[in-house]
Amino acid sequence: MVVIAIIAILGAIALPVYRGKVAESRSQEGGAALALIKTRQEAYRATHFRYAASLSELPGYDSDILNVGDYFQITIDAATPTSFQASARDNQKPIGSKPAGSDVWIITDSSSKPDHTSKGY
């Protein structure tokens, strides 16, 4: 009986830590997806002299971009010939006290890397 109680206590401690680490690793996919968007936007601008206004205009849209962002809704929020902003918002179930959609990454044409505006884990 004591062994079962010890296992239950260890499980109660380990499960929240495990869920937090899973959420944190999934969150990194948002940043990776936006880094790919930035690379593709710069390549698109080099050949078309403007930034793409939608994801479907970017090369590799169907394969790379969608596969990198499995846990995120990725959008190009604004695009002009000389600037763009893209975001990745999580589309997961709530984690702990954080509601779904609270994990947001943003990148712009002037960003060197994606900015994590709020953490969902």
| Whether pLDDT at 85 is above 90 | yes
Q: How confident is the model at residue 83 (pLDDT cuts 50, 70, 90)?
A: very high
| Neighbour-count burial for 99-118, b at 16+ CB within 10 Å, e otherwise | eeebbbbbbbbeeeebebee
pLDDT of residue 120: 52
Q: CA-CA distances (angstroms) from residue 3 to 6, 7, 8, 9, 68?
A: 5, 6, 9, 10, 43
| Whether pLDDT at 84 is above 70 | yes
Domains of the chain in sequence order? 2-118 (3.30.700)
Percent of the chain residues past pLDDT 70, beyond the cut: 80
